[in-house]
Amino acid sequence: MFKLGRIIFVVFSIIQISDLLGLGTPKQATQNCEQSTVQLTNLLSYACENIDETRNCRMDFLRAARANNNQPSIALLSLYADTYFAETQYDQCANIINVATSSTNNGYCISGYCNFVRCIRRINSDVLVAQCYIEASLNNVAENQDDQITLYKNITSCILATARCSNINPITGQPQSRSVVVVNNDVFGRPVSKTIPLYNALQINQAGDLRLITLRGSTSIQTFLCPYELNLKETSWMQYNC
């Protein structure tokens, strides 16, 4: 594990690559949102944890997410966003959903709703990065270049390990697995299953979002001169070892 340090860095929001096919994409901008109710409630549940309003906040947002025939009610999302997000880092998200209530129909992935989801996702990621910054910057002022480099690596390790070890992705709200079972046939044509671990990689898109891309641990890296290892196995971070 890298030693700790401290440095100023730019905070980006985090998106899991599979989420790009879900909420917030132009393709689903007019679709029914019932299939994303669980993901929405997970996103909002994580937001509730971040503002220390866990029980009532979760229950109310769960009610809002299912109020319109198991689809989200824009009006209730606005009401509870005002109730719980006022004067917090999520206040801007409440302002976004408030605008949507006067110009949209409840329950559909219209632009106002998707902008609200993107905002929650972005703030959730900011909180995670800030938490990793605090953990990684303990006991080191990072005044020299070596310590600054170490801090950057520690923050990255923290983000990847925290997200990877969680049953629910803290940014996207999607359930996730730490492994995948692959079935192939042996030389005799018999099916043989193999469990392969999943790891995350980071990518910054053109909007400035930092994506978490999930890849199989068996994915081979390019052939470099004297590589340390040939697969995508990642380091752990503090208590996050999975």
User: What's the whole-model pTM score?
Assistant: 0.76
The winner for highest mean pLDDT among 63-72, 130-139, 161-170, 210-219 is 130-139
pLDDT grade for 224, boundaries at 50, 70 and 90: low
Q: Where are the domains of the chain?
A: 19-123
Centroid of chain to Cα 172: 4
Mean pLDDT of 65-93: 89
Distance between CA atoms of residues 103 and 75, nearest Å: 11
Between 110 and 6, the more confident residue is: 110
Lowest-confidence pick of 44-48, 150-154, 168-172: 168-172
Distance between CA atoms of residues 195 and 193, nearest Å: 7
